[in-house]
Chains A and B, each alone.
Chain A
Amino acid sequence: MSIGTARPRIEGTAKVTGAARYAADNYPDDMLFATTVGASVAHGRVAAIDLAAAMNAPGVVRVLTAGDMPALGKIAPPAAVLELPMQGDRIEWEGQPVALVLAETIEAAEEGASLVRVSIETRPAMVPGKGRLETPPDHFAKARETKGDVETGFHEADFSITNCYFQPSRHHNPMETSATVASWQGDHLTLWNAAQANLNAPVVLAAAFGIPKENIRSISPHTGGGFGCKGFVWPHELLAAAAAKIMNRPVRLQLTRAQQYSQVGHQPECRQTMTLGAKADGTLTAIRHEAINTTSASGLHFEAPGMASRGYYACENIEIEHQVEHIHTTQPTPMRAPVEGPGSWALESAMDEMAIALGIDPLDFRLKNYAETEPVDGKPWSSKKLREAYIEAAGVYGWRTRAERPRQDGVYAIGHGMGTAGMFCARFPGAARVRIQRDGGVIIEASANDIGTGNQTVYTLVAADTLGISPDRIGVRWGDTRYVATGPVYGSSHTMGTGSAVRVAVQEARRKLQLYGAKADGPLDLAELMRRANVEEIVGDGAWAMPDGAPASMNGNGTPYAMQTFGVTMVEIGVDRDLGVIRLRRAVARYSAGRIINPLTARSQMIGGIIWEWGKATMEASPIEPGHGRFLAKNLSNVAVPVNADIPSAIDVGFVDEFDEHASPIGARGIGELGSTGVAAAIANAVYDAVGIRVREVPILPAHIIDGLG
């Protein structure tokens, strides 16, 4: 059984030796370097652009502005921004591209960009708190949702609490900034593109340039992290292709770190109001979850934090209301973890506050309201072993005996906190091809990118498992739209989708091998079987479809089951009362996420998710400067994310043994973003436990502690 055995990622050596080539590492012959000139204000109109100085800069070949752009066709999702770039004079966010400098070197392009003089008629910008509110159209989440009657629920409650929880806008900050290298051959386009979904750019660019999407080849095996910001298709991808077409030369456009802050998405600011009602015995009688997230002036990004209140706890009366606030900013986009990421920050903080108000242990309060079925629809879960996760985590952590531990260690006051984790279950169709070679070797092909999560190794383990052979005999070709088209690497979906397709493809190949004596089950001697078959290769194609051929199935839509992932995180933190400093001491997390294919990379992802949330909880923010409507800092010098010194070795993560036959043929659900839910609240709850200060705003900074203690 290869599934469930820890295996190092197959591309690891290429990455650590530098052999792995990322999008911007490709330099086709005769290529031009491009860089954008961004609008310096958040709202206004381009009055004039003076290119004279830029054109005189050595090495600059051309500077494109709106007037130079070809007319492009209408684009739709998966385009992130539906307005085409550089097609008019309207400015709706700071950093919006208004010119594109093309030069023989990147240095010349950047020098040229600094010499472009843009005159802008500035208009007042909408900033957070002063924008335009709107109720968004439903997506997989509904803007408003009601179960029962919350007023009745509050009336029945012995205790009610209402509080507001804030989280700032934040950026994904992958190591590799977004990049596109575009090269036309007639009406065929080749892209080397930093992406999480190889298939998305061809769809959008085909619409923009009026060519069949089959004419576009996207190559990007390695993507240097995405976390959501490389999921949809952003303006720079269109600009690179447009410039390459205009210049009839390949064009490379890689965003600088600063450009990355304003030319691709971010997680929006979320302001949430939680109202909980509960009986004295701990029974939740009502949950009201109101959430507002910021979005761009003319785009819609609906974060849907209230989905947490839909799925986490049993409650007769639930009311969810979402709004978006339009401001002049870049279009937000999903970021690890969207939806329940912000939602769990509010809900799990409120649950802790209610547990304390009731005098019930926070774990018991959650167990008391354990959702045996989906809370709103009442559908049975495809599989849910959260209770086992709670019990195991509590045992490993010593949750029940925490009161017996010292409350102080040197200068640090010790606090314990917990938060339930839970994440939507996005399932996308998958496809894969397996080629069994004459020598018995096996090759798997799928178009998907690798963003660092190790999907190729997952394919390998699934194939080895299905054939009963050593994973060492399996190679993978990936990251190129020439291979069979499969689903994205976002939404914690890929292992389920493409992993299942690999299973189906290999099963088909195995059936073909039965002609030559292959057993239906158990280990195969592929070399012997192929000798008998005496063909170059045997190919198996596999696809895994959603009910009714849907392009996606969210939370089990179209099935009799509700699907989600679950878990719990418990943290011990130290708070230095005199300095306000908060430090993570240890964390224990257990998850119910279906079968785990590769425990090694799964564990890495969950630890990474906890670290990611430590950043959200204690240091990370990309605030919009209120007077200028732009991100205050567009570099990592003034936007802190955790470093190794922040992370104790005592992070213990694990998975409950589980096989979810309804979610996918390989028994898996998703894990990628689950580790980044519930953790920020657990940390806030631990801060309260340590020093008695309830902070309802992340990041929880030393200033909050200092000011709170007075």
Chain B
Amino acid sequence: MRNFTYAAATGIEDAFAADGADIMLIAGGTELLNWFRLGIASPGHAIDIGRLEGLNGIALHGDRLSIGALATLNEIGEHPLVKDRASALGEACLKAASAQIRNRATIGGNVLQKTRCAYFRSEAPLPWGCNKRVPGSGCAARDGLNERHAIFGWADSCVAVHPSDPLVALTALDAEVEIAGKNGRRVVPVTSFHLTQEEAATGVENPAETMLPETRLEPGEIILGYHLQVVPGQRSAYVKVRERASYEYALVSAAVSVTLEDGRIVRARVALGSVAQKPWRLSAVEARLVGVVPERDIVLPILREAMIEARPLRHNGYKITMAAGAAARAIVNAAMGDVA
């Protein structure tokens, strides 16, 4: 592990110096130090934004729920406003990591964590190809032990999935990401903030030899927070499937928000986690769910049919059925839950 300098930012502008390579931002530190240890990153400088004031608020402004990037997962998960208006997000935060990590980990950093692919997370020097570690070295997971990998949006150059729980909930809740940089502030829908491998490769001349971006965040930009439109009558839920009951990444997850009238769905948002390098919205299903009674036996066939577009790898075909089951469970749970 290379020595690095450490400096605490005194204002947001200090963070703009981070190029994501030699200068990196640190907030909770629960992920960045892993990168350093494994050789995934070896910057010369770390700027600590974790102590910046005013970036950890959770507040309702009219019908918009705003969450600052430095709010910790436990702060969000336990917050009454989140529980009342965006329960899927609260559940997702509390199902992430362990209590100790949730006390440190921030929602800004959480969505920027990297894949948990075992090939990627191996200690340096890497014994196998991983284009995310060494562009052009290949993807050992593509034809390797890929039980936990993508069924949507992958490319031969990378089959990793994004591991974040809150990100899946934010996607189902139509959140926006507020970003700041030298050129000012901008807002991006969370659905287009992350990129699948296919999306990232689009327009790139030699994608297999290139370190492809995973988000639309530019060097020098930081996430300030998230804004969620609270839809009246909306209920939401998050279902996380994992062999271990806690402190484990999802095999598959599903976040759902639904609005009901007379016991039938009038509006639905469905996002799947750990099936692609970004939360996978089932947009076509969302339309098909309108008018449907939110019961397992009714929604499950609709969801299973929607999974026909999945492209499983050799060892992860089970994710197709599991994802439909998780989404169905989330719909049932959401429908039984409290109204926002």
Q: Which residues of A contact B (CB under 8 A)?
A: 40-41, 94, 107, 110-111, 114, 258, 411, 578-583, 618-619, 623, 625-628, 630, 632-635, 637-638, 640, 642-646, 699, 701-703, 706-707, 710
Contacts and interface: CB of A to CB of B under 8 A. Distances in A.
B50 interface: no
Nearest to A117: B125
Interface stretch (B179-187, B212-220, B241-249): B241-249
Given A579-B325, A579-B326, A707-B318, A628 B244 contact: no
Given A580-B318, A637-B116, A637-B121, A699 B243 contact: yes
Contacts of A635: 121, 123
B245 A111 contact: no
20 contacts: A40-B127, A110-B1, A411-B329, A578-B296, A579-B239, A579-B241, A580-B241, A581-B242, A625-B128, A625-B145, A626-B145, A627-B144, A632-B145, A633-B118, A634-B122, A638-B116, A638-B121, A640-B243, A643-B98, A702-B251
A619 B123 CA distance: 22
Given A578-B300, A579-B325, A619 B243 contact: yes
Nearest to B247: A643
Contacts of A632: 118-119, 145
B321 interface: yes
A432 B167 CA distance: 60
B116 A583 contact: no
Contact of A40 (B125, B140, B317): B125
Interface of B: 1-3, 39, 98, 116, 118-119, 121-125, 127-128, 140, 143-145, 147, 239, 241-248, 251, 296, 300, 317-318, 321-322, 325-326, 328-329
A48 to B, nearest CB: 15
Q: Secondary structure of the A side of the interface?
A: loop
A710 B322 CA distance: 10
B10 to A, nearest CB: 28
Contacts of B321: 706-707, 710
B245 A646 contact: yes
Nearest to A578: B325
Contacts of A625: 128, 140, 144-145
A643 B244 contact: yes
Contact of A578 (B2, B143, B328): B328
A286 to B, nearest CB: 36
Contacts of B326: 578-579
B243 A644 contact: no
B246 A644 contact: yes
B116 A628 contact: no
B244 A646 contact: yes
Nearest to A107: B1
Contact of B243 (A41, A114, A634, A701): A701
Contact of A114 (B39, B121, B300, B318): B39
A161 to B, nearest CB: 27
Contacts of B119: 632
A702 B318 contact: yes
A702 B241 contact: yes
A688 B302 CA distance: 29
Contacts of A41: 127
B91 to A, nearest CB: 15
Across chains A and B, which 10 residue pairs bring their CB atoms closest together, nearest first? Answer: A645-B246, A578-B325, A703-B318, A645-B245, A638-B118, A633-B118, A706-B318, A619-B243, A646-B245, A579-B241
A706 B118 contact: no
Nearest to A411: B329
Contact of B317 (A110, A623, A642, A707): A707
B121 A633 contact: yes
Given A625-B145, A643-B248, A702-B318, 7 more contacts: A580-B325, A626-B144, A628-B127, A637-B116, A640-B244, A703-B147, A710-B321
Nearest to B128: A628
B160 to A, nearest CB: 13
Nearest to A700: B243
A41 B317 CA distance: 30
A646 B145 CA distance: 25
Contact of B123 (A258, A618, A627): A258
Contacts of A710: 321
Contacts of A579: 239, 241, 322, 325-326, 329
A296 to B, nearest CB: 18
Nearest to A632: B118
Considering residues B144, B145, B246, which has the most beta carbons from chain A within 10 angstroms of its beta carbon?
B145
A607 B123 CA distance: 34
